[in-house]
Amino acid sequence: MPSPYDSLKVDLSGQTAVVTGASQGLGKAIAIALGNAGAKVACLARNEAKLAETVRVITAAGGQAEAFASDVKDGAAVDKLMNDLAEKWGKIDILVNNAGVTRDTLLPVMSDEQWDEVIDTNLRGAFLFARAASRHMMRARYGRIINIASVSGIMGNAGQTNYSASKAGLIGFTRSLSKELAKRKVTINAVCPGFIESDMTKALGDAMMDEVKKRIPIQRVGLPEDIATGVLFLASPAACYITGQVLTIDGGMTG
């Protein structure tokens, strides 16, 4: 039976894409979707071994991809990497800010380090990459920036004040930046995933997963491919009139 994710036909031939946090989970699925659509993909993360697997999957399917070890919190390194990629590939068409971390705990016992690491990775990292990419996109008068936020940034979540703050900030960042760059034909949108299947969710066990599914009208957790499909559409030329928007993909949980 054909996969429903194959039904969205997007042609990104000749385009280049940068995906942060591409070594696993959502980032890996997004990088593969963009590569399968014809984009040349720069896969970024800290784990080089896992990045190599993402690149292998893309190239095995006939796509083009390269891996780059990257610390999204290092401003000078981000600028250099993006400038080097723009020079090597001639342009940067698509940026997906997906890299993120969680350091969950209740606020009264949350350390400065737990707060700072989440804000610096999830929000500052997106700022650094968007700033670097937008310079090239503005000159080219074309670009797509997609920021991966979360439903936690919309409705909040106990034990995640740092994470929810970073994702809510990313939504505000998206809306504001879209107003700055729209005249240059650069669109900026956010995607808010809900409960997505991962190694972490599998470790919760069947009983807990059954309770989670009861909160989701579609009655299943999402797959990374559900998010990748939404990103693929927003990254496409067909989404040229969509900017400053937040696409929530959560099976109806926040509806």
Identify the CA nearest to 236 among candidates 128, 61, 107, 93: 93
Options 5, 142, 163, 241, the catalytic residue: 163
- Residue type for 29, please? A
**H-assigned helices in the chain:** 25-36, 48-60, 75-89, 112-119, 125-140, 152-155, 161-181, 199-202, 206-214, 224-235
Q: Are 201 and 106 in contact (CB under 8 A)?
A: no
Q: Are 160 and 119 in contact (CB under 8 A)?
A: no
* 163 in catalytic set: yes
Give me the residue label for tokens 């969509």.
242
Q: For residue 20, what are the β-bridge partners?
A: 44
Active site residues: 163
